Amino acid sequence: MAGSLVVPKPRSFTIASVNVNGLRAAIPNGMGGWWHQRRPDVVTMQEVRAPHDLVAGLVADVAGEPWHVHHHECAAKGRAGVAVATREASTGNGHALSGEFDGTGRWVEAELPTADGRGLTVISCYVHTGDADTPERMREKLAFLDAAAERLAALRAANRHVVLTGDLNVGHREFDIKNWKGNLKKAGFLPEERTWFDRLFADGWVDVTRVHAGEVAGPYTWWSWRGKAFDIDSGWRIDYQIVSPELAATVTSVVVDRAPTYAERWSDHAPLVVAYTL
C-alpha cells in the first residue's frame, strides 16, 4: 500500500528490525503486545513465511490499524520472505536484487521522504545460514552478500540515506558470538563471511549497535530454542542495522528488546530497535 508522500520536518523516529520466524505464528504468540508497547515508526521483518496477499492484513492485525507494507515473497512456499512496514506513506521496491536472487524473498526496500530532501531507503534483508560442508550453499551466500554490497553502493552514490536491516546470519567479530571458538569453522563465522563486513565498514558504513554498545560481548539477538541458551545468554548477534555515515550520526539510542523470560519469546530472535533523528 502506498500513498502520496509528505516531506516531514526533522524528527525522532524508530526503526525496529526482527526475524519473526513466521508472522502467522508470531502474532498469536505475543508480537502484538510488543508492537503496541514499543510503538515503532518502521518495522522490518524477515522470515515472514506468508503469502503476499495476506501480509498487509496480518500487519494490520498486529498493529491494530493499516500500515504501508512492502513485501517480497519467496517462490518456495513457507520459506524466507521479507517485509518493511511503515506508519507513514512510503513507496517500495521488491526487486532491487533481481535476476539470480529474484523470487528468493530475501531483499525488499521502502523509501521515505526526509526533511533534507535526500530521502531514506529502508531495507529488510534475510541472508540464509549457509553450510560450511556444502560449497555451493556457501558460494550462493557469498554471491548474495556481494550483490547486496553493490546495491548499497548504488544507493549511497545516489546520495540517499540508507539503513540495511535484518538477519544477516553472520557474526562479524568474536564479541558477536558467545561460543565463538566452537564456531570458527561453521557457517555464520567463516573468515570469508566476516571479511564482507570488514570491507563494508572500511567503505564508511556503520554498525550502529557495535558503535553504541562498545567493545562488549553482544548484545545478542538470536538464541537457540534448544537447551538453556536463552537463559544463560549464550547467543549470537546476527541481526543488524547498518547505515550510511550521515544517518549514523543521528542515532540517539540502540536497544535489543530481549524477552523477559523464555516463555515470553515470540521468536528465536529479539527485535533490534534504533532511534534516529532525520
Per-residue pLDDT of the chain (278 residues; tens, 9 = 90+): 445 566 667 788 999 999 999 999 999 999 999 999 999 999 999 999 999 999 999 999 999 999 999 999 999 999 999 999 999 999 997 667 867 898 999 999 999 999 999 999 999 999 999 999 999 999 999 999 999 999 999 999 999 999 999 999 999 999 999 999 999 999 999 999 999 999 999 999 999 999 999 999 999 999 999 999 999 999 999 999 999 999 999 999 999 999 999 999 999 999 999 999 98
> What local confidence, expressed as pLDDT, does residue 96 receive?
74
Alpha helices by DSSP H, listed for 214-258, are 245-248
Q: What is the dihedral of CA 63, 49, 271, 243, to 10 degrees?
A: -100
Query: Cα 107 from chain centroid?
Result: 10
> What local confidence, expressed as pLDDT, does residue 206 receive?
98
Domain-embedded: residue 5: no
> What local confidence, expressed as pLDDT, does residue 10 receive?
74
Start-to-end Cα distance in the chain: 23
Domain-embedded: residue 6: no
CATH number at residue 83: 3.60.10.10
Domain-embedded: residue 89: yes
Total domains in the fold of the chain: 1
Domain-embedded: residue 8: no
d(CA 191, CA 229): 24
**Of the candidates 108, 48, 102, 107, the residue with the CA atom closest to the CA atom of residue 78:** 48
d(CA 71, CA 73): 6
> What local confidence, expressed as pLDDT, does residue 7 receive?
62
Domain-embedded: residue 4: no
Joined grid coordinates for residue 151: 546495491
Domain that residue 199 falls in: 13-277
Domain-embedded: residue 120: yes
10 Å CB burial of residue 254 (0-12, 13-18, 19+) is middle
- The single residue listed with the C-alpha cell 537463559 is 231
Question: What does the angle CA 255 – CA 256 – CA 260 come to, to the nearest 5 degrees?
Answer: 120
Q: Are 149 and 174 in contact (CB under 8 A)?
A: no
Domain-embedded: residue 2: no
Give the three-state DSSP class for 127. coil
